[in-house]
Chains A and B, each alone.
Chain A
C-alpha cells in the first residue's frame, strides 16, 4: 500500500510540473496525434469485434446460435436484406455499445473456461441465456428490432388482416408491449418454454382483473413428451 502510494505520488510529481526538456509544440501536437491514433485503433478494434465473422470464431456461437439462424428469415429472404449478429445483439449507439462490450467480456471468460462448450451444456443454459436477451430487448423497447422495423413505417394495409389487427391492438393501442413480447424465437430456436407466457398475455399483476387464469402455464403435453424423450417412461 505504502509502495503504491509512493509510486502514485511520484507520478503526480512528474505530471504536475512543467516539462523541462520537451517543447510545448511537441507535447500538444504529439499528444493530439497520439490521441488520434489511439482513438482510431480503438474504434477499429471495436468495430472488428462487431462483425459476424468475429462472433462465429467461437464455436459456441457458430455451432449453436448461428447455425440455427441460417434457417430463418433474418438470414435468407426475398429481398436479400440480412441481419448479422451485432445488428440485433449489440446496440448501435456508441455509449450503449461500449457498455454492452464491457458486459460481453464475461462471455470471453465463459469461452476460456468452457461454460457452454458442448451442445448439451448450451441447451441446459439456453433458457437463462434467452431470458437475458428477452429482458434486454424488453428494457430498451426492442431497440435493435426497431433499428430496421419501425411501427411508423409499417403499412398495415400490406399486412394480413390478422397481423394488422394484432399490431394495432398490442403494438399501437396498448402501452408496455414491444416486439420481443410476441416475436420470441424469431431468429433462433426456442428454449424450454414451460412457464414462459405467450407474449401478448398481460403481465401477471393485471391478469386477475381481466379474468385470465394465471395458472395457465403447466404444459402437460410438452411435459409428458419431454419425460418420454428423456427416460422413456410414460404416465397416464
Chain B
C-alpha cells in the first residue's frame, strides 16, 4: 500500500515535470517561430556583427528641373548642396533663390506661398517658418528603390478640368 502510494507520487511528480518541460518547449518554439515570420526592422543581417555599409548613392547634380510627381510636391534640388549652411545666422539657399536676386543668378524664385506666416499674413519676404529649406526640398540620388513603386499619377485617377 505504502509502496504503491509512493509510486503514484513519483508518477505524479514526473508527469508534472514533463508538462512543464513541454510547455516551456512549446513557448520557446512559438517564440522562435514568431521571430522567423516577423522580419526585424533592422533587416536580415546578424544584429551583433559588423555589417558592411552600402556605398552612398551619388546625388543628382545636373541642374535639370524635374516634373513634380504630384502638385504639392516640393520641387527637388538638382544641384549640389554640400556644405550649404542653413542656420540661425545664414541661409545659403536664399543667396540665390530670394526674389531680389533671381534674375542675376538665374535661379528659380522661391514661391510666394513661402511669404505667408502661420497666421496667414503675407510678409514682404520669406516667412520664419519657411527658413529651413531642406526640411522639404531635398536632393535626389541615383539610389535604387528598396521596394517597387506603384505610385500612379493623379492625372490617371481623377478627371482633368478642361478638355
A185 and B85 contacting across the interface, CB-CB below 8 Å = yes
Which residues on the A side are within 8 Å of B128 (C-beta)? 220-222, 224-225, 228
Contact B88 A220 (CB under 8 A): no
A72 vs B82: C-alpha distance when bound (angstroms): 9
Give the secondary structure class of B's interface.
loop
B-contact bits for A192-236, CB 8 A (1 contact / 0 none): 110000111100000000001100101111101110110000001
The answer, among B90, B105, B121, for a CB contact under 8 Å with A190, is B90
Interface residues of A, CB < 8 Å — how many?
31
Report whether A72 and B83 are in contact in the complex, using a CB–CB cutoff of 8 Å. yes
| A236 & B125 in contact (Cβ 8 Å cutoff) | no
Chain B positions within 8 Å of A161 at CB level: 62-63
- Asked if B127 is at the interface of the complex by the 8 Å CB criterion, the answer is yes
Residue of A nearest to B91 (CB): A222
A56 to B98, CA, bound (A): 38
**Residue pair B83, A73 in contact (C-beta under 8 Å):** yes
Check B104–A201 contact: CB distance below 8 A: yes
Contact in complex: B100, A212 (CB < 8 Å) = yes
Q: Return chain A residues, CB-CB under 8 Å to B101.
A: 198, 201, 216
| Contact in complex: B83, A220 (CB < 8 Å) | no
The reply to whether the CB of A166 lies closer than 8 angstroms to some CB of chain B is: yes
Once the chains bind, are A162 and B83 in contact (CB under 8 Å)? no
The reply to whether A193 and B90 contact each other, CB–CB distance below 8 Å, is yes
A192→B83 CA distance, assembly (Å): 17
- Using CB atoms, name the residue of chain A closest to B105: A200
Give complex CA distance A220, B127 in Å: 7
Is A160 within 8 A of B87, CB to CB? no
**Distance of B81 from chain A, by nearest CB (Å):** 12
Q: B123: CB under 8 A from chain A?
A: yes
Nearest A residue (CB) for B131:
A221
- Which residues of B (46-84) have their CB < 8 Å from a CB of A? 61-63, 79-80, 82-83
**Is the Cβ of A160 less than 8 Å from the Cβ of B79?**
yes
Residues A226 and B88 in contact, CB atoms below 8 Å apart:
yes
A190 with B83: CB separation less than 8 A: no
Residue of A whose beta carbon sits closest to that of B84? A185
